[in-house]
Amino acid sequence: MNESPTYRELLAANRQLVAENELLHKENAKLNGLVKDLLEVDKETKNIEVISANKAPKLVFQEKKIVAPPCLSLDEKGA
């Protein structure tokens, strides 16, 4: 026969999971703070740099703007 867990066993397991969840939330908050310290976003250029105490900032992303020539209208194409 398949024996079901008792209420007390389920309650104990739930408490353990809640405690583990709280620890994971704290660890996640620390890591998020670390990432915010490591990445710096330049507001004007949208460049993202990795900040390190040992090295100069390293560019990891640079927004590129595409400049396209104006489109020709149907009249200008000489159909």
Residue 70 lies in a domain: no
Task: For residue 33, give the amino acid letter.
Answer: G
Residue 44 lies in a domain: yes
Residue 11 lies in a domain: yes
* Mean pLDDT computed over every residue of the chain: 72
Residue 76 lies in a domain: no
Tally the domains of the chain: 1
Neighbours of 18 (CB within 10 A): 10
Which structural domain, as residue segments, surrounds residue 45? 1-65
The pLDDT value recorded for residue 32 is 79
- Ramachandran angles phi, psi of 12, nearest 5°: -65, -45
Residue 17 lies in a domain: yes
Give strand pairing partners of 58: 50
The pLDDT value recorded for residue 8 is 94
pLDDT in tens, 40-52: 665 666 666 666 6
7-14's contacts with Cβ under 8 Å and 24+ in sequence apart are none
| Neighbour-count burial for 25-43, b at 16+ CB within 10 Å, e otherwise | eeeeeeeeeeeeeeeeeee
Q: Model's pTM, two decimal places?
A: 0.43
Residue 1 lies in a domain: yes
**Residue bearing tokens 């969840």:** 21
